[in-house]
């Protein structure tokens, strides 16, 4: 009889501690959830106010459902809106990703050694979306050699030293690729999707800093938090 009572008491104590543990874990989960919601609510809102008679303007709205709308207006080209999702990475850091993403998010380089070339000959072909990147300005080794590609996106050089880097540019776009294999003499460069103008087309894991009711994009410009009634809808 005493043994049965002892077993029952031990079971009761075990059940009690299990209930306490479950409640403790639930409180922790609830606390994390509440803190997350409060943290997100702090950054939610509209940033950037377009003054009357503006010629250029940028706004971004971070919504409660963790989507965003990025508004950009230019006197030449008009207005456009990029939509996507956002998430907090740390206390002051938000990551943006647009729904639309580029086909080629990164410039790629294909190199090889062509035994038919002369000893100092280098050939470079530049493609943009499988089409030639015609008449791009190309320079080697920080400007020691330079010229323009032809209509097929091809340019040939004769250089006296090892090839270390290739820089190519067209209008406002410019990019440099460092060459790791010094034995290559023939290159094909496939460009990442290049914006057709100075306006933004995508957000790809874009880091945005939010601090003191100010949002900083690209480390270039800062948008102050403003009232929802100031949102542009044109």
CA distance 75 to 53: 10
Instruction: Examine the domain organization and report whether 4 and 72 are in the same domain.
Output: no
pLDDT at 18: 66
pLDDT at 34: 40
Instruction: Examine the domain organization and report whether 85 and 157 are in the same domain.
Output: no
Instruction: Examine the domain organization and report whether 171 and 137 are in the same domain.
Output: yes
160-211 per-position pLDDT tens digit: 888 999 999 887 778 999 999 988 999 999 988 866 556 788 898 999 999 9
In contact, 47 and 57? CB cutoff 8 Å? no
CATH number reported for the structural domain that contains residue 62 in this entry? 2.40.128.360
Strand ranges inside the chain, DSSP E: 45-47, 56-62, 67-74, 78-90, 93-98, 108-112, 121-128, 131-132, 137-140, 145-148, 154-158, 165-170, 173-178, 186-190, 206-211, 214-217, 221-226
Instruction: Examine the domain organization and report whether 51 and 83 are in the same domain.
Output: yes
* Edge-to-edge strand ranges of the sheet holding 165-170: 145-148, 137-140, 165-170, 173-178
* Closest by CA position to 175, among listed 192, 161, 196, 163: 192
Instruction: Examine the domain organization and report whether 185 and 145 are in the same domain.
Output: yes
CA distance 61 to 78: 19
Instruction: Examine the domain organization and report whether 58 and 98 are in the same domain.
Output: yes
Instruction: Examine the domain organization and report whether 50 and 87 are in the same domain.
Output: yes
CA distance 170 to 135: 8
140-160 per-position pLDDT tens digit: 999 999 999 999 999 999 998
pLDDT at 33: 44
Instruction: Examine the domain organization and report whether 131 and 95 are in the same domain.
Output: no
Domain encompassing residue 52: 44-102+199-230
CA distance 88 to 191: 31
Instruction: Examine the domain organization and report whether 150 and 178 are in the same domain.
Output: yes
């Amino acid at each position: 009889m005493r043994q049965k009572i002892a077993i029952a008491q031990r079971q009761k104590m075990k059940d009690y501690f299990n209930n306490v543990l479950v409640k403790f874990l639930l409180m922790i989960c609830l606390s994390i959830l509440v803190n997350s919601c409060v943290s997100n609510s702090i950054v939610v809102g509209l940033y950037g106010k377009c003054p009357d008679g503006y010629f250029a303007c940028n706004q971004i709205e971070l919504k409660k459902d963790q989507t965003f709308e990025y508004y950009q207006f230019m006197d030449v080209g008009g207005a456009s809106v990029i939509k996507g999702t956002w998430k907090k990475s740390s206390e002051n850091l938000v990551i943006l990703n647009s729904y639309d993403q580029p086909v080629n998010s990164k410039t790629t380089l294909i190199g090889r050694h062509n035994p038919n070339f002369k000893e100092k000959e280098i050939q470079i072909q530049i493609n943009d979306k499988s089409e030639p990147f015609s008449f791009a300005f190309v320079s080697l080794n920080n400007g020691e050699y330079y010229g323009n590609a032809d209509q097929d996106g091809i340019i040939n050089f004769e250089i006296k030293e090892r090839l270390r880097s290739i820089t190519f540019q067209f209008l406002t776009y410019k990019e440099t690729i460092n060459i790791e294999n010094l034995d290559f003499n023939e290159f094909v460069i496939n460009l990442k999707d290049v914006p057709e103008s100075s306006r933004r087309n995508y957000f790809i894991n874009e880091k945005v800093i939010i601090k003191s009711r100010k949002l900083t994009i690209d480390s270039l410009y800062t948008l102050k938090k403003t009232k929802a009634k100031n949102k542009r809808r044109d």
